[in-house]
A and B are shown apart, each in its own frame.
Chain A
């Protein structure tokens, strides 16, 4: 029966739709601050949408709306029923629904950012939801975290180590973090940021522009 029906409700090949970028990481590492920074840096040049996965309330979505970095209507909040992890990996239905709602309302878009709820080091995005993903750590979680690895640290397309301004205060050795991350990530990029000091997270924004360009080049509408 399935032979006559193409699976056209989902576009794994990505033609004609925005790049979907997942941003995950532990609680308090700076995911929402990074989303705000990317909106600040990329808003003028890219057509954006944002989906947040709050754990309790719509706090992250509200923070972004108050920050005024993106039109409030372009932010949708998804609730995750005690399991932020489930909503980005095992049962992505509500997140896909939110992403497609944004594309229908405001499309065409260049980039939809999906911010996960704060979770642990094993959290990763399903490939059915995110085309690329960033994992955000912060130095105050301890400089051993990159060595411990976990799917988020090892497999994300970009690892961001945030709050470098706090490194001297918490005794974190950035050289150790950089060396360990390089070892477990097999050459994939790592960027160190202090979003408190660099409100546009410019190095990360530059990386995102690169992947959006590549995506659009590869997935341009050919019909």
Chain B
């Protein structure tokens, strides 16, 4: 199959699936002064990749594996595993919204049993990494490619948001992203270690600061981003 090409499309911020309106907590971090410039942003991205990024990569890899043998019950169980790993209700909502839009978009690009069964099993919107893994399977990706795309978008979304909100030098911010290459590889590697149906062992790193930012963001009156 054409997994590499599909991975590039899925990781591209231009994929028309609503991702441009999510900042991954960066908008609120900017508002409260936790991100003021490139140094803060680099720390934020590194922390996000090591926590939410690894979890989302692992869920996407598991979903990609399910996508090769999709059954409604397996989708529902994996979606519940994702739910259990996202403690902030605001983040759960944002994740489901992005997942719903991703399925809407990708089932038109890569019509498949993987995405149809997921849409039927979780009609209100599967969590974003589950949808991403299902789409990756539909497009012909391996679990590792799904994990890479998930980990990558977990840092590119907040990086782009910070460029827009703070007027940071976009070249400098891309250098920060390039510096994350080894960490991104590690995240994808960690994500693919567990490949059985016993998903209780999937990574479950918590990021309380991201949870708090997401909850505060929802209560902030002036918001440009959904999350």
Contact = CB atoms under 8 A, between A and B. Distances in A.
Contacts, number: 76
B21 interface: yes
A96 B221 contact: no
Contacts of B20: 80-81, 83, 86-87, 90-91
Given A91-B17, A91-B20, A93-B18, A79 B165 contact: no
Contacts of A97: 18, 100-101, 104
B89 interface: no
A57 to B, nearest CB: 6
A94 B21 contact: yes
How extensive is the interface on chain B, given as a class?
A: 20 to 34
A92 interface: yes
Contact of A81 (B23, B107, B116): B23
Nearest to B16: A91
B22 interface: yes
Interface in B11-25: 14-23
A173 to B, nearest CB: 37
Contacts of B110: 1-2
A96 B21 contact: no
Contacts of A1: 110-112
Given A7-B108, A10-B108, A82 B221 contact: no
A91 B14 CA distance: 7
B107 A9 contact: yes
A56 B19 CA distance: 17
B161 A2 contact: no
The listed residue with most B CB atoms (<10 A of its CB), out of A78, A79, A91, A97, is A91
A90 B17 CA distance: 10
B17 A79 contact: no
B224 A79 contact: yes
